Amino acid sequence: MLQSASARRAALALVVGAAIAGCGAAPELDQQLETLSSWTATLELAKERHGAAAISTTYATQLADAARSALGKTEQQIGHAVHSRIDSSYAADALDSLRGAIRQLDAETGR
């Protein structure tokens, strides 16, 4: 009984450990760069559409806010996924592009 209880505790510790490691693990760099580039493209399209009066300022502002939130989340995680100087330079470029796209959309919507 004791043996099975300690075995259960060990198994539980393993599962919890794996879950914590899984939750804490940063997504791969490729995936994070893809997300950043997707948001940059989204904001570029939004800027173009707002310029053509195809989308409202209310909506464009929400897109900029959503991108800002994605940027903040990625900034926190991307350090864990960077393993070399080249990785670091890719990450910095992608982050700068998104920051620039946010600034441009903010300017377009008069924020």
Interface contacts to other proteins, rule CB under 8 A: 27, 31, 34-35, 37-39, 41-42, 44-46, 49, 52-56, 58-59, 61-63, 66, 70
- Considering the complex, what minimum distance in angstroms separates the CB of residue 95 from other proteins? 16
**Residue 60 contacts residue 109 (beta carbons within 8 Å):** yes
CA distance 64 to 49: 13
* Least Cβ distance, residue 52 to other proteins (angstroms): 7
C-beta closer to other proteins: residue 25 or 85: 25
DSSP element (H, E) containing 3: helix 2-24
How many Cβ atoms from other residues are within 10 Å of residue 42's Cβ? 18
Considering beta carbons, is residue 29 or 46 the nearer one to other proteins?
46
> Among candidates 102, 108, 1, which has minimal Cα distance to 56?
108
Residue number with CB closer to other proteins (8 or 28): 28
